[in-house]
């Protein structure tokens, strides 16, 4: 607990310095004043000031106190937008995907490859307690199968929360799934036949590319802008040229690049797809993890006629262990419901009842507020580290929400090799090769910044920077 306190205080102060509340040369409140103001112990403030000193934010002046130091400015550019001409191709990166997935699951060394949330928030204990209470008090065995649509109370909570994303929906129009990946798979199965073309943004979350491959579909990679996401101009051209069957997007904090499609473009996207009568599978799994001051709308908020199938889950906001997600399939409700029945008949009832209870309470909102602030600060710390330790020519995304950052390195660097080297030294990152089927991102990689910054994690980032430097010098 004490460790969390000083780390949090250090992060908050770093943030205030970044935002100019304290300027270069300003004196920070004395240790005693700060302890009183923050209602923490003197040793907590001492440790927090020590952390800020180590990170180069402040310096101690003998007999005078702590002062804000001049620091290097953020010198890193954002990643470039790909400019390839889209062409439909079968996907084929599964071997490396499984290797990366297994390495992450082994939880050895410093794992920064998986897009998982921080697992040290108090909500996890609360979920665990609610599981224990409800397992004792509710009847969840001896009741046969749940309905294919899922537990009503849980769907009710999802419908209630969808309003924040501009989606007004009845619980009757929602189907629960075993996570977002399962929801997307059900939708793709319903909407496509082998050989069909699916338009995806590029770079694209590799789980989706794998799904496209396994279902015998072809992916058409549409370039995405690092800030605004899927290029509508490129999509329009592709629609004129290819018989696209369905489009798929993570419009709100895409994985891996963290882009956010503005509302006008979300509305425009639905209009364009309407002209070609094409459905859109929207993956909104990161939507609640915004760094700005309000929850961005889902694309589905702009969908008057049910062509958007919105998929999401609790994997990124609470824990992927829950394997609990949902789909709002619009006009494809019956077909998706039937597909879920074919795949798994129904989900277990208990986790849905538990999460309905958790979501109905204020603690979930408190948790989201805490998580968003925490992730925003943790990304800021990553940016500092990368500014300090990565060579010239490194580009890094500025995610507007979510859990991951995307790095673009000079083209000489092969990040699959970097992945193997890092892995051998106990550091896990996600190589860029996974995020495309046309080999475009072999000089890029993705890193999770959501976990708390320990000295070990900071060292891992430092080491990656060092390995990139060495690679550049040797080539
Ligand atoms: C964009 C995106 N969609 C879906 C998933 C999988 O979500 P779930 O664990 O709910 O199946 C991930 C996990 O990394 C993801 O990044």
Cα-to-centroid distance, 118 and ligand 1 (Å): 15
pLDDT range class, residue 102, cuts 50, 70, 90: confident
CB atoms within 10 A of CB 62: 5
Q: Which two tokens stand for residue 120?
A: 């040290």
Let me know if residue 323 belongs to a domain.
yes
Which CATH number do you get for residue 271?
3.40.640.10
Say yes or no: CB of residue 200 within 6 Å of ligand 1: no
Say yes or no: CB of residue 250 within 6 Å of ligand 1: yes
Let me know if residue 88 belongs to a domain.
no
Residues 152 and 113 in one domain: no
Let me know if residue 438 belongs to a domain.
yes
> For residue 115, how many C-alpha atoms fall within 13 Å in the half-sphere facing its CB?
25
Q: Rounded to the nearest 5 degrees, what angle is found at the Cα of 48, between the Cα atoms of 45 and 52?
A: 135
Instruction: Supply φ then ψ for residue 168, to 5 degrees.
Output: -105, 110
Last residue of a domain, one of 332, 359, 386: 359
Provide mean pLDDT across the span 333-344. 96
Let me know if residue 100 belongs to a domain.
yes
Q: Report CA Rg, the chain.
A: 23
pLDDT tens for each residue of 258-296: 999 999 999 999 999 999 999 999 999 999 999 998 999
Q: Is 125 left (phi over 0), alpha (psi -120 to 50) or beta?
A: alpha
Report how many domains make up the chain: 3
Helix and strand counts by DSSP (H, E) for the chain: 15, 16
Cα-to-centroid distance, 211 and ligand 1 (Å): 12
Structural domain of 227: 145-359
Residues 387 and 314 in one domain: no
Hey, which residues does 312 pair with through a beta bridge? 326
Say yes or no: CB of residue 148 within 6 Å of ligand 1: no
Percent of the chain with pLDDT over 70: 96
Which CATH number do you get for residue 22?
1.10.10.10
Let me know if residue 24 belongs to a domain.
yes
Which atom of ligand 1 lies closest to the CA of 286?
A: 1
Most confident of 166-175, 382-391, 466-475: 166-175
Say yes or no: CB of residue 258 within 6 Å of ligand 1: no
Better pLDDT: 145 or 270: 270
Residues 340 and 379 in one domain: no
Residues 281 and 325 in one domain: yes
Residues 198 and 256 in one domain: yes
Helical (H) or strand (E) element with 470: helix 455-474
Residues 430 and 393 in one domain: yes
Say yes or no: CB of residue 256 within 6 Å of ligand 1: no
Lowest mean pLDDT among 3-17, 158-172, 268-282: 3-17
Let me know if residue 79 belongs to a domain.
no
Last residue of a domain, one of 325, 359, 393: 359
pLDDT range class, residue 94, cuts 50, 70, 90: low
On the question of pLDDT at 392 being above 50, the answer is yes
Cα-to-centroid distance, 8 and ligand 1 (Å): 28
Say yes or no: CB of residue 205 within 6 Å of ligand 1: yes
Residues 284 and 387 in one domain: no
Percent of the chain with pLDDT over 90: 73
Distances from the Cα of 188 to the Cα of 36, 314, 329, 346, 405, angstroms: 57, 20, 11, 19, 27
* DSSP letters for 212-260: HHHTT-EEEEEEEETTTEE-HHHHHHHHHHS-EEEEEE--BS-TTT--B
3-state SS, residue 220: strand
Residues 289 and 320 in one domain: yes
Which CATH number do you get for residue 408?
3.90.1150.10
On the question of pLDDT at 221 being above 90, the answer is yes
Helical (H) or strand (E) element with 209: helix 206-214
Residues 321 and 201 in one domain: yes
Contacts of 91 (CB under 8 A, 6+ apart): 209, 210, 212, 213, 219, 437
Contact (Cβ atoms closer than 8 angstroms) between residue 432 and residue 415: yes
Q: How far apart are CA 406 and CA 432, in angstroms?
A: 9
Residue with tokens 């190589």: 431
Residues 41 and 171 in one domain: no
Q: How far apart are CA 284 and CA 165, in angstroms?
A: 10
Last residue of a domain, one of 359, 380, 402: 359
Contact (Cβ atoms closer than 8 angstroms) between residue 62 and residue 407: no
Residues 224 and 354 in one domain: yes
* DSSP letters for 347-383: --HHHHHHHHHHHTSHHHHHHHHHHHHHHHHHHHHHH
pLDDT tens for each residue of 398-451: 999 999 999 999 999 999 999 999 999 999 999 999 999 888 899 999 999 999
Residues 62 and 154 in one domain: no
pLDDT at 3: 46
Test site for ligand 1: of 314, 316, 446, most ligand atoms within 8 A of the Cβ: 316
Q: How far apart are CA 454 and CA 460, in angstroms?
A: 10
Say yes or no: CB of residue 179 within 6 Å of ligand 1: yes
Contact (Cβ atoms closer than 8 angstroms) between residue 245 and residue 192: yes
């Amino acid at each position: 607990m004490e460790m969390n306190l000083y780390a949090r205080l250090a992060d908050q102060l770093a943030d205030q310095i970044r935002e100019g509340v304290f300027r270069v040369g300003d004196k920070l409140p004395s240790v005693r004043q700060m302890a009183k103001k923050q209602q923490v112990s003197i040793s907590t403030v001492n440790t927090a000031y020590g952390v800020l000193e180590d990170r180069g934010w402040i310096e101690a002046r003998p007999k005078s106190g702590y002062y804000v130091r001049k620091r290097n400015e953020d010198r890193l550019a954002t990643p470039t937008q790909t400019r390839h001409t889209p062409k439909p191709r079968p996907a084929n990166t599964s071997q490396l995907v499984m290797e990366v997935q297994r390495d992450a699951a082994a939880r050895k060394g410093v794992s920064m490859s998986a897009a998982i949330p921080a697992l040290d928030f108090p909500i996890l204990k609360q979920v665990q307690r609610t599981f224990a209470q409800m397992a004792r008090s509710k009847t969840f065995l001896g009741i046969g199968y749940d309905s294919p649509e899922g537990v009503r109370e849980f769907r009710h909570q999802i419908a209630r929360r969808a309003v924040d994303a501009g989606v007004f929906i009845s619980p009757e129009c929602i189907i629960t799934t075993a996570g977002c990946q399962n929801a997307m798979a059900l939708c793709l199965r319903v909407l496509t036949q082998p050989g069909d073309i699916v338009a995806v943004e590029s770079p694209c979350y590799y789980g989706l590319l794998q799904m496209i491959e396994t279902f015998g579909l072809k992916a058409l990679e549409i370039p995405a802008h690092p800030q605004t996401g899927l290029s509508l101009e490129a999509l329009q051209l592709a629609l004129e040229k290819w018989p696209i069957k369905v489009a798929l997007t993570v419009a709100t904090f895409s994985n891996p690049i963290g882009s956010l499609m503005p509302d006008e473009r979300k509305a425009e996207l639905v209009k364009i797809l309407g002209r070609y009568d094409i459905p859109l599978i929207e993956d909104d799994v990161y939507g609640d993890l915004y760094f700005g001051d309000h929850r961005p709308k889902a694309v589905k908020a702009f969908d008057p006629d049910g062509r958007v199938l919105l998929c999401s889950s609790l994997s990124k906001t609470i824990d992927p262990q829950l394997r609990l997600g949902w789909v709002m399939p619009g006009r494809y409700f019956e077909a998706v419901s039937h597909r879920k029945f074919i795949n798994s008949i129904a989900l277990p009832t208990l986790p849905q009842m538990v999460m309905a209870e958790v979501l109905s309470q204020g603690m979930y909102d408190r948790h989201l507020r805490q998580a968003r602030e925490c992730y925003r600060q943790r990304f800021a710390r990553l940016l500092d580290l990368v500014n300090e330790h990565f060579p010239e020519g490194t580009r890094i995304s500025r995610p507007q929400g979510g859990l991951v950052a995307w790095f673009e390195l000079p083209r000489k660097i092969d990040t699959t090799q970097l992945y193997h080297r890092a892995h051998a030294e106990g550091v896990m990152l996600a190589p860029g090769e996974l995020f495309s089927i046309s080999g475009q991102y072999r000089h890029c990689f993705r890193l999770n910044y959501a976990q708390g910054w320990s000295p070990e994690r900071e060292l891992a980032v430092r080491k990656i920077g060092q390995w990139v430097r060495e690679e550049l010098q040797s080539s």
